[in-house]
Structure 1
Amino acid sequence: MNALTAWLEKYILPIATKMGSQKHLVALRDAFIGTMPATMAGSIAVMINAIIRDLPAQFIEGYDGASIPVIREIIAVNGFVWNGTIAIAGLVFAFSWGYNLAKAYNVNNLAGGIVSLAALIQGISFGPSETADLGMKVPANIATAITDSGIGATVTPGGELSVGLWGWLNLNHLNGNAFFTAMIIGAVSVIIFAKLMQKNITIKLPESVPPAVSNAFAAIIPATAALYIIAIFNFAFGEMTGMLFIDWVQETIAKPLMGFSQGLGAVLVIQLAIQIFWFFGIHGTNVMAPVLEGIFGQAQLINIDVFQKGYDGLTGTKAVLAAIEDGKAYMWVRGSFDAYSMFGGSGGTITLILAILIFSKRADYLTMGKLALGPGIFNINEPIMFGLPIVLNAIMFIPFIVAPVVATAIGYLATSWGLVAPVSQAVTWVVPPVLLSFLATGADWRAPLVTIVCMLVTFAIWAPFVIAANKMDPSLEENN
């Protein structure tokens, strides 16, 4: 065990430390965290609608919440909240990403957020443009009426329809689908902006000018240069490929990555990496945030979106399941880790605390177990992580690595086999275990049962090591 720990310290710890302090990764992590006020508000709206609109329909035949006074109005209000949050999550992230990246470069934060947001917006679709043969002769007066209507469509008497609408922003370019493009375009534009700012290629005003005005003017040249460079790229890319860069990224980068993330092996590797980082005292979920939030988080936003809007005439969980079958939604998302392996915090440490309270004879372990139980119920495990400690504690290494990986495998298989609904809601991580999985799956009563199974299995993994730790207590040895 000591040899393994020494090997990990020599080869893994330096890598983990560098990743945890790399400014671009830190900025990306903080960008995802920065979107939480909007994404959680939207998730709460969708969750409320799931409870009052979708859940009763599973048990009451003919139930239609949209036709019941008060409930109908609540559903409508939640729809407005969704419009301004989950529906435009990509825009929210783009600003947060630019803001935090500019902060990492010690330049104007607000201008960085604006540059990133503007760079994303300039490359999205502003309306469809298609030409098709209707296969029929259109009366001249009808063709003229359509052509002269000003709606952006023309029809010839021969039946050829041309649609060239403009000013209609494509929501599929503004929601979670925009994350990968926002990461790429936002990084390039803000780094260009930051480099120019650092080289003082700016408009300089007298010191007597208020700072707010001076900062705004200083950002004009760097921001203009960055946005023109992105605009030239968007134009050239469109001319060469005939498609928007955001569509190309979604088809060639985002979908393959997210598809790969749905394999059991990939999910377990991510969980394993989180645990290894944590063992050395490095916040594993933060280090892995670019993957957890950038890939699995985007998948979760798509599930929430499908749950709210519906799919193929279906609503709620049924819509999500149908979309998964068609590759339009995802079986395993960010919240799936919280539901089935992170009860009590990373490593599923609430079951360690219970094992300590039941089996430990060590005064230090029992004291820490009692202190950590309250926070652990709300998935806060720093007290047990650093107080026991688990960090760099050789006796705890194996269960800390194995237990959450096994729990993740159980949750994954239960979801993929259809024993439990996929996670389709974003639930704040401090919600106690069991209740969290119930809410996260759109109120599927089977989800808490799967969580309990995961907890029992991890408890069985932790218990032998807690008992073994008794033999390592000098005070117990003296009493014997």
Structure 2
Amino acid sequence: MKEKVLKFAEKLGTEVHLKSIRDGFLSTIPFLVLSGFMVFFSYVLFAEGGAMASALPANIVSGITTICNKTINGGQNILSLLMVILVSYNLARYKNYPNPLTPALVSLGSLFILMPSEIGYGTMGTSGMFVCLLTALLVTEAFMMLNKQSWLKLKINGNVPPAIIEAFNSMFIIIIIELVVSIISFTCVALSGLEVHDFINKVIQAPLVGVATSLPAFLLYFGFGQCLLYFFGIHPAGVINPIFEPMLMVAIEENNAAWIAGKEIPNIINLPFRDVYGTLGGIACTLGLLIAIFIASKRKDLKDIAKVSLPTSLFNINEPVLFGVPIVFNPILFVPFCFTTTIIYIVAYVATAMGLVSKLVVFTTWSTPIFLSGYMASGGDFRNVILQIVCLGIAVLTYLPFVKLMNKQEVTFDTVEDDDDSLSLD
């Protein structure tokens, strides 16, 4: 089983299209984090009727919110533009194209060709995520394929700067791609009556988001799937995340837009939902394991590892726990590690569906510390922080009996001096 999982995960993890999407999202994290804070400042701290807004003059509050909103426009609201460039650039780079910026710019131009005549931030934000991903991948592949055709390149002789040679070699390729994209855009409107963005969002994006935000699917790939990969020492960033994160990103953007407009929030499950409730201390809520070790462990080695791991766990970084306890390939911890988040996600989903807590409406990155993440992502609702405390308590109770079981393990480190004066561990 281990060999089959490793082989499958390795194949997915090295697939250049998934790697390009993964690297693109990683590059946008600073923009999304900044946008998340600006949304929180503008619509929570300095919202009309709030404590901060009442304490300051109206012109100062207006200036602050204007600055926040303009900053959001430079990040979250142009995410599709950032992603089409980054994904195309990374894909061309992985395919060893010498100047990956050229296909990235062609992808950006093609994306604008596919956009409606009246372009708004909604089209350039996460609502256009699937259009941007498809454009980046398909245009880059087309560019790479046409670039292999020598008859499309102009032969330039003499002492000519490399930039000019590159521009002329790519000229016919760019013309062909942009014309084909324009024909596709025209045909889509003529046959369906919908712009390409609207057509793809209706036919592809909406159904995929519906599947990704359903509880059974979410539990399968984030409740159990990613934990299983981690148990075998495989990071899901290159396997699961590039497939499902775009859909969950669209879901949080839909929630954010509805919240700002004062409308009903559509999605319980979105990208912050995964981290706010299921990444308390790191994957599988391992902060609960650390607390359980402090409470019940009689082993000095585990307590020492817990002390070292606690500072990083506060920012949801748990590699010291995964490989120090260890959790990876540890059969005793398989059950709590792979099923704790499943239980927690079910509890969080039910609590949200019953209206006991708010739906999450502000993007927060996975490294946002516990409690701060719940307060920010919910738009300033302390009930979500209380739910995080409940989820952490569930994690502690789930790990506790297995920590007690680990007390029965005898771990010895006997040193034996060899003839060459080296030490070996027995």
Pair in the same fold by TM > 0.5: yes
Distance 1:173 1:22 in 2: 28
Distance 2:74 2:292 in 1: 45
1:250 Cα deviation from its structure 2 partner: 0.6
Please list the CA deviations of residues 168-193 of structure 1 after superposition, one character each: whole Å capped at 9, or x if unmatched.
Answer: x1433222111111122221111011
Of residues 375, 400, 404, the one that matches 2:337 is 400
Distance 2:183 2:255 in 1: 34
Distance 2:404 2:296 in 1: 6
Structure 1 pair 214–387 and aligned structure 2 pair: CA distance change class (3 A)? farther
Alignment match, 1:173: 123
User: How big is the alpha-carbon RMSD for the aligned residues of Structure 1 and Structure 2?
Assistant: 2.3
Contact 2:284 2:338 in 1 (8 A): yes
Distance 2:162 2:404 in 1: 63
Contact 1:194 1:222 in 2 (8 A): no
Alignment match, 2:385: 448
Alignment match, 2:79: 89
1:67 Cα deviation from its structure 2 partner: 6.8
Contact 1:20 1:282 in 2 (8 A): no
Of residues 188, 206, 219, the one that matches 2:138 is 188
Alignment match, 2:235: 283
Please list the CA deviations of residues 86-110 of structure 1 after superposition, one character each: whole Å capped at 9, or x if unmatched.
Answer: 2222222222221122122121221
Structure 1 pair 66–340 and aligned structure 2 pair: CA distance change class (3 A)? same
1:205 Cα deviation from its structure 2 partner: 4.8
Of residues 380, 385, 397, the one that matches 1:460 is 397
Distance 1:189 1:259 in 2: 27
Alignment match, 1:114: 105
1:239 Cα deviation from its structure 2 partner: 2.5
Alignment match, 1:241: 192
Matched, 1:98 2:88: yes
Alignment match, 1:38: 31
Contact 1:98 1:187 in 2 (8 A): yes
Alignment match, 2:177: 226
Distance 1:451 1:204 in 2: 64
Distance 1:213 1:231 in 2: 26
Q: What is the SS of the residue equivalent to 1:69?
A: helix
Alignment match, 1:29: 22
Matched, 1:267 2:218: yes
Alignment match, 1:431: 368
Distance 1:179 1:392 in 2: 37
The range that moved more, 235-244 or 336-345, is: 235-244
Matched, 1:70 2:41: no
Structure 1 pair 390–262 and aligned structure 2 pair: CA distance change class (3 A)? same
Kindly tell me the number of residue pairs found equivalent between the two proteins: 410
Contact 2:18 2:238 in 1 (8 A): no
Matched, 1:299 2:299: no
Within a 5 Å distance, the mapping from 1:142-161 to structure 2 comes to none
Distance 2:304 2:160 in 1: 60
One-letter amino acid matched to 2:234: I
Distance 2:244 2:407 in 1: 36
Consecutive unaligned residues in structure 2, runs of 5 or more: 414-426
Distance 1:306 1:245 in 2: 23
Please list the CA deviations of residues 138-195 of structure 1 after superposition, one character each: whole Å capped at 9, or x if unmatched.
Answer: xxxxxxxxxxxxxxxxxxxxxxxxxxxxxxx143322211111112222111101122
Alignment match, 2:419: none
Give aligned-pair identity as a percent: 27
Contact 1:35 1:92 in 2 (8 A): yes
Alignment match, 2:40: 47
Larger radius of gyration: 1
Distance 1:412 1:282 in 2: 27
Contact 2:154 2:169 in 1 (8 A): yes
Alignment match, 1:12: 5
Contact 2:19 2:242 in 1 (8 A): no
- TM-score, length of structure 1 as denominator length: 0.80
Contact 1:331 1:423 in 2 (8 A): yes
1:333 Cα deviation from its structure 2 partner: 0.9
Please list the CA deviations of residues 193-231 of structure 1 after superposition, one character each: whole Å capped at 9, or x if unmatched.
Answer: 122234555345568544444444443333333222222
Within a 5 Å distance, the mapping from 1:314-329 to structure 2 comes to 314=262, 319=263, 322-324=264-266
Distance 2:375 2:305 in 1: 29
Distance 1:323 1:426 in 2: 14
Distance 2:54 2:243 in 1: 39
One-letter amino acid matched to 2:247: I
Alignment match, 2:317: 380
Distance 2:411 2:276 in 1: 38
One-letter amino acid matched to 1:57: G
1:240 Cα deviation from its structure 2 partner: 2.4
Contact 2:31 2:76 in 1 (8 A): yes
Distance 1:387 1:205 in 2: 60
